[in-house]
Amino acid sequence: MRVAITREVSEGLARCELTHVARIEIDLALARRQHEAYERRLAELGCRVERLPAADDMPDSVFVEDAAVVFDEIALIARPGAQARRGEVAAVAEALGTYRPLRRIEPPGTLDGGDVLVAGRRVFIGRSSRTNRDGIDQVRRFLAPHGYAVEAVGVAGCLHLKSAVTLLAADMLLANRTWIPMEPFGAFEIVDVDPAEPLGANALLLGDTIVYPAEFPRTRERIEARGFTVRTVPAGELAKAEGGVTCCSLIVSGSR
Residue 170 exposed, middle or buried by CB count within 10 Å (0-12, 13-18, 19+): exposed
Known active-site residue 35: no
Give the C-alpha distances (Å, rounded to integers) separating 76 from 134, 146, 215, 245. Answer: 14, 13, 31, 20
**Which of 16, 47, 158, 247 is labelled catalytic?**
247
Q: How far is the CB of 219 from ligand CIR (least distance, A)?
A: 17
Instruction: Determine which residue in the list 204, 243, 245, 249 makes contact with ligand CIR, applying CB under 6 A.
Output: 243
Instruction: Determine which residue in the list 109, 114, 126, 213 makes contact with ligand CIR, applying CB under 6 A.
Output: 114
242 binds ligand CIR (CB under 6 A): yes
Strands (E), the chain: 2-7, 47-52, 68-70, 75-77, 102-104, 116-119, 122-127, 149-154, 165-169, 172-175, 189-192, 204-206, 209-213, 229-233, 250-253
**Which of 16, 35, 160, 248 is labelled catalytic?**
160
65 binds ligand CIR (CB under 6 A): yes
Looking at 11-19, 35-43, 150-158, 217-225, which segment touches ligand CIR (CB under 6 A)?
11-19
Residue 47 phi/psi, 5-degree rounding, is -85, 145
Q: How far is the CB of 251 from ligand CIR (least distance, A)?
A: 13
Residues numbered 150 to 169 that lie near ligand CIR (CB under 6 A) are 159-160, 163
Cβ nearer to ligand CIR, comparing 189 with 219: 219
247 binds ligand CIR (CB under 6 A): yes
Q: Whole-angstrom Cα distance, residue 81 to residue 83?
A: 6
Q: Which residues in 52-78 are b (16+ Cβ under 10 Å) and which e?
A: bebbeebbbbbbbbbbbbbbeebbbbb
Q: Which residues pair with 230 in a beta bridge?
A: 210
Instruction: Determine which residue in the list 17, 39, 50, 237 makes contact with ligand CIR, applying CB under 6 A.
Output: 17
Residues numbered 66 to 105 that lie near ligand CIR (CB under 6 A) are 66, 82, 85
Give the C-alpha distances (Å, rounded to integers) separating 213 from 23, 48, 113. Answer: 20, 21, 20
Looking at 15-23, 132-140, 187-195, 226-234, which segment touches ligand CIR (CB under 6 A)?
15-23
Question: Would you tell me which residues interact with ligand CIR (CB under 6 A)?
Answer: 16-17, 19, 60, 63, 65-66, 82, 85, 114, 159-160, 163, 241-244, 247
